[in-house]
């Protein structure tokens, strides 16, 4: 048998330390990249650790007991995260999403949320402060998260059938515990709650309709995500992608749907609402089609890794080391100017350029999702 060798993680350390431009500048809140895309959304990974081993993100054969996660000293402190977040907000960021790994594993995460929730946009508005979680710790933490200032949560749930779900998370974690966490978050007002299902052909696509039926007529927004070629560890193949059009077709055949408009420019999910016979709706679903219907043209998201590297695309092969600047004698004005220069030079549009087998797009060198968040 040929041993499977997967090139991995030391991309974590292949990052550029940005050069401080000679001319410093004050933020205007109007940054745009080479494709005229603004900077509006910052996703911050606060840990590279997770208590799940999902097959599409952190497969157990790679992230095993011997895998070297980042040491605590490498992670950005809460003070460093808040400092860098404040600079991004001055540049126009209005939404901050905390991710991981599993962000609720980060000790005292409520304190970080409290610090971030105190930030304001240049015109004095509160941020849209959100968090993505696998739901395993949500029931016990929901109230504290809400009290700290978190606005809402997105919960990953890839099946309703317990056997299928356990195959996906690969740690024998039960669906009922995730559903309990979702209900707890709803009770304390962390909403609207979105539920993300990654659809992998041949593994959980039979759960599409049951998931849609279960969450119809509830306050929750279920979103179906095409299985993506993020990182190098998940063995991605195009023939395992179930197109969003097929997801909509299957649901529509049993529960009629109609398309509805996006909430805002750059929204990642296409929106559909249920249409009952009497004309009333039963809530909505979303489909995220980053493989078959790329939305790069509207992408306004920057990503900050667990150890302070700035990535301008989910499919990036390298980042910019902002931690090195923060842990030196560089001023906020200098770091802010660096962020502006990096964003203005951004031309990423990986999903629009993707081929069926990702030839020519450094498929084996992309950074892992567990390192920069989804």
Question: What is residue 10's predicted lDDT score, i.e. its pLDDT?
Answer: 47
Q: What is the pLDDT of residues 64-87, one digit of tens each?
A: 999 999 999 999 999 999 999 999
Among the listed residues 202, 244, 238, 239, the one whose alpha carbon sits nearest the alpha carbon of residue 224:
244
Q: What percent of the chain has pLDDT over 70?
A: 86
- Percent of the chain at pLDDT above 90? 72
Model pLDDT, residue 55: 86
pLDDT of 356 reads: 41
Compute the average pLDDT of residues 312-321. 85
**Per-residue pLDDT tens digits for 34-49:** 999 999 999 999 999 9
pTM above 0.95, yes or no: no
Q: What is the mean pLDDT of the chain?
A: 88
CATH architecture of 9-15+29-372: Alpha-Beta Barrel (3.20)
Cis peptide before 192 (omega within 30 of 0): yes
pLDDT in tens, 213-239: 999 999 999 999 998 766 555 556 777
In this prediction, residue 360 has a pLDDT band, given cuts at 50, 70 and 90, of: very low
């Amino acid at each position: 048998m040929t041993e499977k060798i997967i090139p991995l993680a030391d991309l974590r350390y292949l990052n550029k330390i940005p050069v401080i431009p000679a001319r410093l500048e004050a933020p205007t809140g109007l940054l745009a990249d080479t494709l005229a895309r603004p900077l509006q959304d910052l996703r911050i990974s606060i840990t590279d650790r997770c208590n799940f081993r999902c097959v599409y993100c952190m497969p157990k054969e790679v992230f095993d007991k011997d895998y070297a996660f980042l040491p605590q000293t490498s992670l950005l402190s809460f003070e460093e995260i808040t400092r860098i977040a404040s600079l991004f907000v001055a540049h126009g960021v209005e939404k901050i999403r905390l991710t991981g790994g599993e962000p609720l594993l980060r000790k005292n995460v409520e304190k970080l949320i409290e610090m971030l929730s105190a930030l304001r946009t240049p015109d004095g508005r509160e941020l849209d402060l959100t968090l993505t979680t696998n739901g395993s710790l949500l029931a016990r933490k929901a109230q504290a998260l809400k009290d700290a200032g978190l606005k809402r949560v997105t919960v990953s749930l890839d099946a309703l059938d317990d056997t299928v779900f356990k195959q996906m998370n690969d740690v024998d974690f039960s669906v009922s515990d995730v559903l309990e966490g979702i209900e707890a978050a709803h009770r304390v007002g962390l909403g609207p709650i979105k539920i993300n299902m990654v659809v992998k052909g041949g593994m959980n696509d039979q759960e599409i309709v049951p998931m849609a039926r279960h969450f119809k007529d509830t306050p929750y927004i279920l979103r179906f995500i095409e299985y993506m070629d993020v990182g190098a560890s998940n063995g991605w193949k195009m023939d395992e992608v179930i197109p969003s059009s097929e997801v909509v077709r299957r649901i529509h055949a049993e529960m009629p749907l109609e398309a509805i408009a996006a909430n805002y420019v750059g929204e990642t999910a296409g929106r559909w609402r249920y249409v009952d016979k009497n004309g009333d709706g039963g809530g909505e679903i979303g489909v995220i089609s980053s493989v078959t219907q790329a939305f790069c043209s509207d992408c306004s998201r920057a990503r900050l890794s667990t150890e302070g590297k700035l990535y301008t695309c989910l499919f990036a092969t390298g980042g910019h080391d902002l931690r090195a600047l923060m842990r030196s004698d560089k001023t906020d004005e200098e770091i802010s100017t660096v962020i502006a220069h990096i964003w203005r030079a951004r031309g990423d549009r990986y999903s629009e350029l993707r081929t069926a087998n990702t030839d020519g797009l450094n498929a084996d060198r992309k950074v892992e999702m567990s390192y920069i968040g989804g």
